Structure 1
Amino acid sequence: MSIEPFTVRLRVRIYEIDPQLHLNGAVYVQYADHSRYECVRAAGVSVEGMLGDGVGPVNLETVIRYHNELRAGDEVDVSCAWVWGTGKTYRVEHTFMRMDGEMAAEVSHVSGLLDLRARHLVSDPAREWFARATQPEVLGLQAAKPAPA
């Protein structure tokens, strides 16, 4: 059984428009960040708690793929899907869907969790996220609790 990715709806504001009258490229990253933050909150994770414990999420790579433009006043659903592997990094993938059903863009991140004291990535980010989430399935961790380190 698969669950639908977390999604948040946003409306393009006039001040986010570039000279070509479509959504500025940097704003796609901001929308993705907002979707990811709301997803983390929906999973029951306290970002403030993580930071207080000396751990913080970081993006190591961001790729934007544009498909169809977004213009002022358009509404867009921005999904957030987490893809877990076995190393120190994981992927977070966002799909931007216009209300007409057309995909506007995709934003994908290679991310990790930074130990803020030692300044290096934690070895098992899935385990760390799972331990902090009250609803880990929102983060794609529903199958099984990650193995202890």
Structure 2
Amino acid sequence: MSNSSFQLNFKVRDYECDMQGIVNNGVYFNYLEHARHEFLHQKGVNFAELAEAGIHLVVVRAEMDYKASLRSGDEFYVEVVPERPSKTRFAFRQTVVRVSDGKIALQALVIGTALNQRGRPYIHEQVDQVFPLPATTAS
């Protein structure tokens, strides 16, 4: 895990599984979202404060590659690695890893932006500090 990455532990609950006995594909969105929110909270991004200022963080793209199934009772973690693909977008590379064998269950890329009161992209200072622009993009 790199210095800028974050890891959050989970355990699969019975009701998250489908008739095949594996985690339903849609549930992974919830795991990823919760891990992103905890990551941002840990980095000092205050959703309520931003919303009061008319700044809304939104997902504009989500890709998920399913690699292995999780079952009820499986312990796993979601690793979150922040990236900054452009001036107006930020990204989360996320990996779901089963603890028992270290197997990757899912890899995801979630891209977001922040919108101001007029619905225009606006990267607030709190977000900018978590997702700094690479030196080549900043100029």
Pairwise same-fold verdict (TM > 0.5): yes
Instruction: Work out the CA distance in 2 between the residues paired with 1:91 and 1:140.
Output: 8
CA 1:142–1:111 in structure 2 vs 1: closer, same or farther (change >3 Å)? Answer: closer
Alpha-carbon deviation of 1:11?
A: 0.6
What is the CA–CA distance in structure 1 between the aligned matches of 2:52 and 2:124, rounded to whole Å? 19
Say if 1:84 and 1:126, in contact at 8 Å, map to a contact too. no
The match for 2:127 is 129
Per the normalisation by structure 2, the TM-score is 0.87
Aligned to 2:29: 29
Aligned residues of 2:50 and 2:56 also touching (Cα < 8 A): yes
In structure 2, the residue corresponding to 1:110 is in which secondary structure?
strand
Cα deviation, residue 143, structure 1? 8.1
Amino acid aligned to 2:28: Y
Q: Secondary structure at the match of 1:68?
A: coil
Contact 2:86–2:133 (Cα < 8 Å) also in 1: no
The runs of 5 or more residues in structure 1 that have no matched partner are 131-135
CA contact (8 A) 2:90 2:131 kept: no
Distance, in Å, in 2 between the alignment partners of 1:22 and 1:6 is 25
Partners of 1:140 and 1:87 in 2: CA distance = 10
- The match for 2:16 is 16
Superposed displacement of residue 37, structure 1: 0.4
Q: State whether residues 84 and 133 of structure 2, in contact with CA within 8 Å, keep that contact through their aligned partners in structure 1.
A: no
Q: Which contiguous aligned blocks of 4+ residues in structure 1 show a shift greater than 2 angstroms?
A: 125-128, 139-144
Decide whether aligned partners of structure 1 residues 105 and 126 sit closer, same or farther in structure 2, where only a CA change above 3 A counts: farther
Counterpart CA distance in 2 for 1:140 and 1:96 is: 21
Work out the CA distance in 2 between the residues paired with 1:129 and 1:67.
Answer: 31
- Please identify, of 17-26 and 31-40, the stretch whose mean Cα deviation from structure 2 is larger: 17-26
Supply the distance in 2 between the matched residues of 1:35 and 1:102 (Cα, whole angstroms). Answer: 18
Q: RMSD across aligned C-alpha pairs, in angstroms?
A: 2.3
Are the structure 2 counterparts of residues 79 and 89 from structure 1 closer, same or farther at C-alpha, using a change threshold of 3 Å? same
Counterpart of 1:90 in structure 2 is: 90
Asked whether the equivalents of residues 23 and 71 of structure 1 are also in contact (C-alpha less than 8 Å), the reply is yes
Between the two proteins, what is the percent identity of the paired residues? 25
Q: CA deviation at 1:81?
A: 1.1
User: Runs of 5+ in structure 2 lacking a partner?
Assistant: none
Instruction: Tell me, in whole angstroms, the C-alpha distance in 2 between the residues paired with 1:83 and 1:56.
Output: 19
In structure 2, how many angstroms separate the alpha carbons of the residues matched to 1:142 and 1:109? 17
Which residue type is aligned with residue 46 of structure 1? N
